Structure formats: C-alpha cells, structure tokens
Structure 1
Amino acid sequence: MTTRIFNRPIIILSAPRSGSTLLFETLSKVKGIWTIGDESHAVIEHIPKFSTVFRGFESNALTADDADDENAERLRQRFKSMLINRDGVAYDQDSEQEVRFLEKTPKNSLRIPFLNKLFPDALFIYLVRDPKANISSIIDAWQSGHFRTYPNLPGFAGKWSLFLPPNWQQLRGKKLEQIATHQWQVSNATIIKDLTSLAANRWKMINYQQLIDQPEQVVKDICQFAGLDADEQLTDSYKNGLPLSQYTLTTPDKNKWHKKAHLLAPQMSQVGDLVASLNEHLGNCQQEQLTTDIAQQLIDSAKPVSKALTPSSSVQPPVSRNSPCPCGSNKRYKQCHGQLA
C-alpha cells in the first residue's frame, strides 16, 4: 500500500482561474514538497472509473464511493511514479520514504470526499478570488481557446472549457457570462460545503488578493498551517513579488474586470448569498472580504459588445492530435485531453 508514504498531502482547492497555479508553483518551491510537476487531470482521469468520458460526461465530480480500494491504490501509485522535488529530482520508486505531496487541479473542487478517502490525513488550502475578477477571468479563458477541456462535448453547441459541473446540460444556450458565473458558484459552494464537514484544523482559507498583495505573510501562514519550512530558497522566489504563473493570459491587473462590468453586474445577484457565506469564513481567519458591488459608472463606461458572448464566440479550427493541448498543459493533444475525449 502506498498510503503510508503520503504524509499529510496538501491539496489546493479553488474555482478555475482563481490563481491556484500561482499558489501551486509558489508552494512547489518549499523544502520537502513533492509534486507531479503540473495539474493532475490526466493522471486521475486516465483511470477508467475516474474518467469523465467513461462516466458519460456527467461531470468532473468524484465521491468517496468512487474510491474503491483497487482504483484508489492505482491512483496513489500513479502519483508516486511521477513525484519530483523542488529541484526536479525524481522520487526513488524503491524507497518507502514519506513525502509531503502537493496536489492541485480546479476539478478537485468537486472531489473533496473522494480525496479525503484517498488521503485520510490530507490538508486542504482553499483559495478564493473575488467573484467579479474571477468570473471575468473565466470568460477570458473561454474566449482564449487555451483552456478547452471537452472540445466535442456531446449535446453542447460549443467547445467546453475548464471544469465540467454537475447538470451542465442546464447551461445549453446560456450566455458565456452566465456559464462562467455558474462555474464560479458551483466550485465555491461545493468547496465550502464539503470543507465544513471536516475538522477545522484540516483546512485553511486564503483570499487570492492577499496572496498577491502580501505574499510573504500569506505563504508564511500556509507553511505554519501545514508544518512546512519557509527557507531562504523559498522566500527568495517572491522577495520582489510573485512571478507570473505559466497559465497567465495577460498582465495581471486587479481592475481588469472593469471592462466587463456591464456583463458582470446582472450576475452578482446570483452569487450574493454565497459571497456572504464565504465572507463569514474569511472573517473568521482574518482574510479580506469579497464584494459584489459594481458602481453604475463602471457599468455605463464599460465597452459595449456588438453581440452577446457565447461559448462558441471564439471560433477556432479543430484541434490536431499533434498540436499543443488547448487546456494549457504543454502536452500534445493526443497525450492529454485527446485521450480523454
């Protein structure tokens, strides 16, 4: 059994486009941390029982019941076979040395009970981002064409991007800003519901904006929570601010969402109750609050669009099997989501 080598794995949870890659890349520089080097969607979903495709495209959700002993062990073995430390050195597969494993993919927002059964002593870091900026970034991701996870999703008129929520069929014909809002809402609502069923000392909530504004303090707090050593090699990596993550689309600007204020404003009423709940938890851990307020001036001055945004507004030719996967994994399509589709 490989369970014994994974000592208190650290799992990052977030909605898509919340900065989880930036946090992952930062924490991967911690002494004693081991990762698989990138997101785990293919590692998990290439096991048929855990595959969204084999499950009939229901969603990316996995439950505790899905983690039967045989397939759970198979997944842990897959993780073990790919482990590297911060210096890029591979884990000795003949070793029984314990590792602190860092894992992340936004799809895991729908898999907390599954992950809890897979790793019963896991710690969870929940990264949450202001809904206006986050939903705006989700829209950008859809339009970029670089985050397409299911280009040929059966029954969907468009090329699906990012994670697949339960009951996604209800989003057919919806505007892109509505789909993006739904993805933000489902991710965060599911995360907070499932985390609050765990012991409070097993999870920590972080506001993305504080990570950007106060990286030294936030990373120090995370290391203290997880029992990690913030050594000089780690602190040197962000002493001049956090570097851009590999999946950054444009230069970061916390007011970039202003250009979409007229699209975002009608969606804020849909997330108000959830934001209030999230703020209660953020307040309990001295984190900045989220807001849904959008000034009328911003709405009026936002650049109007000539037509409604739809998931297929950004039309690109079919993906070649030898071309880079649109999801941004830096793998060929045939080696990544081409296998899942």
Structure 2
Amino acid sequence: MTINKLKNPVFLVGCMRSGTTMFAGLLGSHPNIIHCPFELRRVWSREAGVPMAAPKTLDFKCPHLTEKDVKPGQREKLSRAFLKEMRKNKENKNIKNSLFLNKNPHLGNKLPFVNELFPDAKFIWIYRDMPSVAASLKKILNRDVIHYWPRKINPETVRCWECFFNGIPNHVDSDRCFPGGDVKYLAEYWYETNRAISNFSKSITSDRIFLIKEEELVDQPEKIYAKCLEFLGLPAVLPLPLLKQINPNRNELWSKRLSKEEINSLFNFVMEKGENLNFIFPEDNLFDKYKQQLYSSLGKEDEI
C-alpha cells in the first residue's frame, strides 16, 4: 500500500539550545517515530517557499508567519516532501505505523501558520532557563555565518534570527550580531520565542501540545520521556541507554561561559522585563529567580 498522506505530524519546538536536538534524538529512537533530521530547513524553504535563515538554504531572513500567510498547495507540497523524508529516514520502521517528527526551532515564530497547514498536528514545546540558553548560544554562534538579531519594527511581529554570509554590513549594529554581540539580545530571542510559543499553546486544546521543562528532563529523563510517549499515544518503549547518557550537569555551565560583564547585561535585561517574565511558563516568579541567580553570580547577592 502506498502511503500518500501525512497524518498527525509532530513538531518539536523551542528556542535554540533548549534541548530540542537532544529530545528529538531520544524520540527518534522509538520504533513508531521517524525523526527526519536536520530540521528540514531546505524542505520548508524550497518546497513551500518558507524562508529559514541558514547557510544551507541561503535564506537571509526567517519571517514571522501566521495562518493568514498560508498559500494554496503548500500543505500538499510539504506533505509529499515530508513523506519522502520519512522514507529516507525510516531504517527498519513501518511508515504506516509511525509518526513524522520535525524538530525545528525556526518554527517558533510560525506556529499559527504550521497549525493552519496541519490542523491534525501535535506539538512538543521544550523550554530551558534563560542563562543556560544565552551561554550556550554564545558558545555555538561562532561560525563563519553571522547571526543577526533584527530590530523590532512592528510590535506584533515575532522575530527570529537573520543571517549574513559575507561579514557584517556597514549599516548594521554589530552589537546585534554574533559572534561578538551583546548577550542581552540572546536573552531577548529566548524571551520573544518562548512567549510566542506560550501564546500559541493557549490557542489550541491541551491534548495537542506537550510542555517539557528541560531541567526536569535532565533530572528525571525516564519519567518525562514516558509522559511524552503517553501524550503521543505510543507504547512506553524507553531508550534507557540513551536516557542515561544525558549529562546531569549540563545546566551548571552557564556562569563559566559568561563574563561578569555579560552576566551583568543579562541582569539588566531581567530588570527591564520585570514581572513579564512570570507569564511565559507555567511556573511562578522567574523574575525574582533570575534576579537572585544572576546577582549571586556577580557576587552581589547582599545588594538585592
């Protein structure tokens, strides 16, 4: 039987360096999930005309898209392309009995668009504490391509990274470019992306989105993984060797990767956002938590 229709796709989202790659690898080991790496940015860009800034796509921008931006034929083109990717990556799995998984942080500012394309989709949102994300981004955004955090022009627009492939243009603020930029823009990316995903999560039913706090995944990998499989309606086949490889200390490295000046920049960002930080995730008082955490790293906790 030829499978020619994509059913119940799964999209794993979150800002970069939040554990999306790690968790996608874990899910991809399940006998009923076919993970099609890496992010399928070329497929989104070339098959559906959805730009995703990256060297592989040669797209410069990664625009915010909503349900109003869906064009005729995009669902069909993507479905065919995704099924083709499933066949390429199926190994010994049965496509008919498997879920398609696309892990892609670039979808963070496009989820209403994705939902309009695939109304039967399920979403997994993994989020991680801001200092760890900022420190990890600082470390990884050090390649030949320049990542640029654009200025906010329209308050309704959710930004994502843009790319320059031939150095930083003269008219561009270098503080917004990485490597070498001001880490407050890494925090701004974390904030805006997660806030957009949070807002989207409230627009769909709870049985269509599963939230994972990366720190809880690290502390209790078997429990969180099993809960996610239950959400997906799949048998509890746990990749125990892979789960045991998760580094329990991965969230303790951020203060070593950031200078005092950079930590102070993150602190100023936290003070600027204030209690707005408390309304992104289903947990209380991130404002006070980050204020204390960052000031402690500066050795000034007595001054708060």
Q: In which range does the TM-score fall when normalised by the shorter chain?
A: 0.7 to 0.9
Partner secondary structure for residue 24 of structure 1: helix
Match in the other structure for 2:35 = 35
| CA drift at 1:214 | 0.6
Q: Return closer, same or farther for 1:271/1:24 CA change in 2, 3 Å cut-off.
A: farther
The answer (yes or no) to whether the contact 2:47–2:81 under 8 Å persists in 1 is no
Are the counterparts in 1 of residues 32 and 93 from structure 2 also a CA contact under 8 Å? no
> 1:59 is matched with which residue?
62
Residue 292 of structure 1 aligns with which residue?
290
2:251 corresponding residue in structure 1: 254
Q: Quote the residue 1:88 is aligned against.
A: 91
Q: Deviations over 1:191-228 (max 9, x none)?
A: 11112111122112110011111100000111111111
Measure, in 1, the Cα distance between the counterparts of 2:296 and 2:72: 57
Which of 161, 164, 177 lines up with 1:164 in the alignment? 161
Asked if the contact 2:65/2:113 (under 8 Å) is kept, the reply is yes
Q: Percent identity?
A: 20
Letter in 1 for 2:51: S
Determine if the alignment matches structure 1 residue 221 to structure 2 residue 227.
yes
Q: How many residues align?
A: 270
Match of 1:128 in 2: 127
Aligned to 2:240: 235
Cα pair 1:47 1:75 within 8 Å, conserved: yes
Instruction: Write the distance in 1 (CA, Å) between the matches of 2:150 and 2:271.
Output: 30
- Tell me the residue number matched to 1:198: 204
1:165-191 Cα distance to aligned partner (Å, 9 max, x none)? 7xxx99834342122112111111111
Q: Which residue of 1 aligns with 2:17?
A: 17
- Give the direction of change, closer, same or farther, for the CA distance of 1:252–1:45 in structure 2 (3 Å limit): farther
- TM-superposed deviation, 1:255: 2.1
Q: With structure 2 as the length reference, what TM-score do the two structures score?
A: 0.75
Query: Does structure 2 retain, via aligned residues, the 8 Å contact 1:138–1:180?
Result: yes
Q: Give me the whole-angstrom Cα distance separating, in 1, the residues matched to 2:7 and 2:97.
A: 6
Matches of 2:147 and 2:75, distance apart in 1: 25
Counterparts of 1:213 and 1:223, CA distance in 2:
18
User: For residue 255 of structure 2, what is the amino acid of its counterpart?
Assistant: H
Q: Which runs of 5+ in 2 are unaligned?
A: 152-158, 163-168, 176-180
TM-score normalised by length of structure 1: 0.68
Post-superposition Cα deviations, 1:82-132, rounded to whole Å, max 9, x if no partner, equal 11588624877xxxx364111111101011111112211111111110111
Deviation (angstroms), 1:24: 0.4
After superposition, what is the alpha-carbon deviation per residue over 1:19-62, rounded to whole angstroms, capped at 9, x for unaligned? 100010011111211122321212101236312579x9553323
Q: Give the alignment's Cα RMSD to 1 decimal.
A: 3.7
Quote the Cα distance in structure 1 between the aligned partners of 2:211 and 2:290: 19
Tell me the distance in 2 between the aligned counterparts of 1:65 and 1:172.
Answer: 32
Distance 2:226 2:217 in 1: 11
Instruction: Show the counterpart of 1:119.
Output: 118
Measured after TM superposition, the shift of residue 263 of structure 1 is: 3.6
Matched, 1:74 2:77: yes
Q: Which amino acid is the alignment partner of residue 212 of structure 1?
A: V
**Residues 51 and 62, structure 2, Cα contact 8 Å, conserved in 1:** no
Secondary structure of the equivalent of 2:81? helix
The equivalent residue for 1:184 is 190
- 1:118-152 Cα deviation digits (max 9, x unpaired): 2111111111101111122122222x327x4769x
